[in-house]
């Protein structure tokens, strides 16, 4: 009985410390590898050239396109937070749907964004539409 209690406390501590930081740590690593070159580690983008992901109104308005943008890139004229962007984003075809979900959940948890959690099913449904 005593032993069980100690394990419960230890488990609780482990769980608690794992939850302190951003819960999407795999998404954070992937973001820093694949996105931060352009969009910056704080999601602020690059003045006039690369749109921000931090508090981006584009994310809210185009939720169902985000997975496709990552996989297939985007060569369009878009408006993000009132500014126009025309540079092309190259496709990143090697990321799995799980990795895309992790990245988007990290982005949506960070920098003032607060969209709903992306499930794998939602990512798959979005990708099917743009394949």
Applying CB under 6 A, the residues found at the interface with ligand HEC are 34-35, 37-39, 50-53, 56, 58-59, 66, 69-70, 74-76, 78, 80, 85-90, 92, 103, 107
Nearest residue (CB) to ligand HEC, 8 versus 83 = 83
CB of 47 vs ligand HEC, minimal distance in Å = 12
What distance lies between CA 47 and its chain's CA centroid? 21
CA separation, residue 58 to residues 13, 22, 61 (Å): 39, 22, 5
94: its two tokens: 């090697």
The CB-based long-range contact list for 7-11 (8 Å cut-off, 24+ gap) reads none
CB of 106 vs ligand HEC, minimal distance in Å = 9
The total of other beta-carbon atoms located within 10 Å of residue 43's CB is 21
Nearest residue (CB) to ligand HEC, 23 versus 61 = 61
CB of 21 vs ligand HEC, minimal distance in Å = 20
């Amino acid at each position: 009985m005593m032993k069980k209690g100690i394990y419960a406390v230890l488990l609780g501590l482990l769980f608690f410390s794992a939850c302190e930081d951003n819960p999407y740590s795999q998404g954070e690593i992937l973001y820093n590898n694949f996105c931060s070159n352009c969009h910056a580690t704080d999601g602020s983008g690059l003045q006039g050239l690369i749109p921000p992901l931090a508090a981006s109104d584009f994310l809210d308005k185009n939720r169902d396109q985000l997975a496709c943008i990552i996989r297939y890139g985007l060569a369009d004229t878009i408006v993000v937070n009132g500014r126009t962007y025309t540079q092309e984003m190259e496709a990143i075809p090697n990321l799995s749907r799980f990795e895309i979900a992790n990245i988007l959940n990290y982005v949506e948890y960070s920098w003032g964004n607060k969209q709903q959690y992306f499930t794998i099913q939602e990512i798959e449904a979005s990708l099917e539409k743009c394949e």
